[in-house]
Amino acid sequence: MRKFFLVLAAFIGAAGLGLGLCLLGYISYTSLTSFVDREGAVAMSVAFFIGPVVALVCGIVAAIWAARRA
């Protein structure tokens, strides 16, 4: 039971961190390059599709890593 909660915590933590880093990376990119997204389509795709996919991949990788280590 302890291993399950460890893997779950690794998944949730890595997914949150992956989403945060993805959004922070987009914000940094737009700030540094003076990119203007007038329609907001790129920002919405990063926030609602690309970010969650990155978060899911990070979470799965972290969960597999934690399951092998525990």
**Structural domains in the chain (count):** 1
Q: What range does the domain containing 31 cover?
A: 2-69
Helices (H) and strands (E) in the chain, counts: 3, 0
Its pTM surpasses 0.75 = yes
Write the pLDDT tens digit of every residue in 25-54: 999 999 999 999 999 999 999 999 999 999
- CA dist 9 → 4, 13, 22, 24 (Å): 9, 6, 20, 22
